[in-house]
Structure 1
Amino acid sequence: MAVLGISHLTFIVRDVERTACLFVEGLGATEVYDSQGRNFSLSREKFLLLGGVWLAFMEGEPTARSYRHVAFEVAEADVPTYAAALQALGTEIPPARPRVDGEGLSLYFHDYDNHLFELHAGSLAQRLARYAQ
């Protein structure tokens, strides 16, 4: 018996169309499904693929903001391009948190429904090596 990996991540959002646009246009995700009123789950939903990860967005009332987040791995050279695309779509990019050298560059952004996402240019191995210094 073994967990094979992450199956999918589900986020509750007010407007699945607007959120899908953010991830497709801002991050390059691919939309693969839209229930369009033929709901098999709790509410309307859209499925997207981003970096090989299945993202599910379901209509509903989102939760309050917190530091709880999902981080996607990106190349450091691409961070400014992502920042520009996300800002053009009206996302909120908070100031970067204090970091130690070697942790890897990160860009945090909130979607329209209080979810916090991170685009991170670094690996677990790099982080652990830096913390071991």
Structure 2
Amino acid sequence: MVHGLNHITITTSNIDRSMKFYCEILGFKPHVKWEGGAYLTAGNDWVCLSIDTVAPAGDYSHIAFSISQPDLEALKVVAKDRGIEEWKENGSEGDSLYILDPDGHKVELHVGSLQSRLESLRVKPYKNMIWC
């Protein structure tokens, strides 16, 4: 059975531009780069950048990465200074910054965890929420 997340692959039209965004702005660690892709890590999470035709989701689908509050505050300034587009304002538990990567993929930088979210739902549950 599945026991965890292995890696996330993000399609890009330009490896160098995406590596600059994910490594220089978001702080991912680069490991290898080749003509058609790159492997990076965010903490212990493996991210693959892969050259292909880009077609970002038009729905709410997005990738959320954990970040500390001080790092998020610094990133908010960098994102504003660099004109990085925000796609949503935070309205849920834990501070978040919702931005678009260079190919238009939706990325969330989130302060919090599943545990903090569940604790907040005990106080203010979603409409018709059922605990499993």
Alignment TM class, shorter chain as reference? 0.7 to 0.9
2:30 corresponding residue in structure 1:
31
Check if 1:81 corresponds to 2:74: yes
2:89 corresponding residue in structure 1:
96
1:63 corresponding residue in structure 2:
55
Taking a change above 3 Å as real, the CA distance of residues 66 and 114 of structure 1, as seen in their structure-2 partners, is farther
Tell me the TM-score normalised to structure 2 length: 0.82
Q: Deviations along 1:25-45, whole A, 9 cap, x unmatched?
A: 111111111123xxxxxxx01
Give the 4+ runs in structure 1 shifted more than 4 A. none
Distance in 1 of aligned mates of 2:24 and 2:55: 24
The share of aligned pairs that are identical, in percent, is 28
Secondary structure in 1 matching 2:87: coil
CA contact (8 A) 2:88 2:99 kept: no
Q: Bigger relative contact order, structure 1 or 2, given CA contacts below 8 A and separation 6+?
A: 1
CA contact (8 A) 2:32 2:38 kept: yes
Check if 1:105 corresponds to 2:95: yes
Shift of 1:95: 4.3
Computed over aligned residues only, the root mean square deviation of the Cα atoms, in angstroms, reads 1.7
Unaligned runs of 5+ in 1: 37-43
Check if 1:54 corresponds to 2:19: no
1:122 corresponding residue in structure 2:
112
